[in-house]
Structure 1
Amino acid sequence: MRFAVELAADPPATAEELTVRCRAAGVEVPDREIDLDDVRSFLVEWLGVVDAPDDVTRADRLNELLAAASAYPRLTNHDGDGWHVHYRAPDLPLAGVLRALISVGTALHLTGRGMHRLGRCAVDECRRPFADVSRTGRQRYCSPACANKDAVRRHRARTR
């Protein structure tokens, strides 16, 4: 989920940047032209899941992404680094790989941790997306820096 949030919060400017970020995250980059517009369009769609006003809408939006992106689960050992499950057709371009990876990962995150576990930073001037991985499920900020900034703002407001 961290990779999805990072891509959506700071979309790659070039195909080369996307390739570097994918490889750094351990995402296999197919050896073919990268459709950066398709990736960026998907990230906007994914933010619609983050911004859904309720669980049913969130599920509906995510189900649309899953229907367009995923395939039946299959076992693979394509890199010789151990068997694992893919939820996508083989030989997809990078945009398709990211669609499936992020959509399925989001579904697993929400069903495993709670449908409320995606959001936007509570700091008005930030509003970056986040995936709540906290123990309590009450995350409100995208980072400790934003949490601290808001705590200082609230403290100053009380002491004036």
Structure 2
Amino acid sequence: MQLNPYGEYAVLLAASLANNWPENRDEIEQRTREVGMTMPFPVRRNDHQETRQVIDDWLRIVDADSDHQRAELLNQQMSQASAYPRMVDHDGEGWHLHYRDDGQSMPQVLRSVIAVGTALHITTRGMHRLRRCEAEPCTQVVVDITRNGRQRYCSVRCSNRAAVRRHRNRQS
């Protein structure tokens, strides 16, 4: 039984958008499909720009200086995205919860899904499970979904680059 349907995929979607911003609205919607969101979004003229604001707001949560600040920023996002959770059955997915009202725009839906998903992710896995890559000069977002909770790098490439840097520092 899955009690956290939004946590992992929502933060992975947010990180994907933050790390590789799509050039247009259709690419944003394609990313939502890749993580399993199946409901169509009504097309609105400012979807691309307003979704960028959603991601910029989410990045402030990623970059928060403390757990308390992260929680405060996340609570602000959830208050802007609040809707009654509702049970829905669409697109052959079976019954599940939506944390949004019907007919909302893409940016509104993504704000809700990403805010609730991020809150679920960090409250169930740990506040430290959302950060920036530690391999300088990389600034990609790392969503730690590992079993041990120690992911520090966004990719194997960055992990290797950091290891080489540490090795060279020890040699000098």
TM-score range, shorter chain: over 0.9
Structure 2 length as normaliser, TM-score?
0.87
SS in 2 for 1:123: coil
Shift of 1:79: 2.1
Could you say which residue in structure 1 is the equivalent of 2:100?
A: 88
Could you tell me how far 1:69 is from its partner in structure 2?
Answer: 1.0
**Would you say how many aligned residue pairs link Structure 1 and Structure 2?**
160
Aligned residue in 1 for 2:139: 127
Match of residue 35, structure 2, among 25, 30, 49: 25
Report deviation, 1:57.
Answer: 0.4
Question: 2:42–2:104: 8 Å Cα contact kept in structure 1?
Answer: no
My pick for the range that moved more, 75-84 or 30-39, is 30-39
Amino acid paired to 2:28: L
1:108-151, CA deviations, whole angstroms, 9 ceiling, x for partnerless residues? 00110011211000112111111111222222111121111110
Which structure is higher in RCO with an 8 Å CA cutoff and minimum separation 6?
2
The secondary structure found in structure 1 opposite 2:113 is helix
Q: 4+ residue runs of structure 1 moved beyond 3 angstroms?
A: none
Deviates more, 1:80-89 or 1:15-24: 15-24
TM-score of the pair, normalised by structure 1: 0.93
| Superposed counterparts of 1:3-22, under 5 Å | 3-22=13-32
Match for 1:43 among 52, 55, 62? Answer: 55
Q: Is the 8 A contact 1:23 1:29 kept in 2?
A: no
Counterparts of 1:156 and 1:47 in 2: how far apart (Å)?
32
2:113 aligned with 1:72: no
Mapped partners of 1:66, 1:45: distance in 2 = 11
Once superposed, what is the RMSD of the aligned Cα atoms?
1.4
Of the structure 1 ranges 22-31 and 85-94, higher mean CA displacement relative to structure 2 is found in: 22-31
- Between the aligned partners of 2:150 and 2:75, the Cα distance in structure 1 is 24
1:96-111 matched pairs, under 5 angstroms: 96-111=108-123
* Distance in 2, Cα, partners of 1:42 & 1:59: 17
Structure 1 unaligned regions, length at least 5: none
Structure 2: gaps spanning 5 or more residues: 1-10
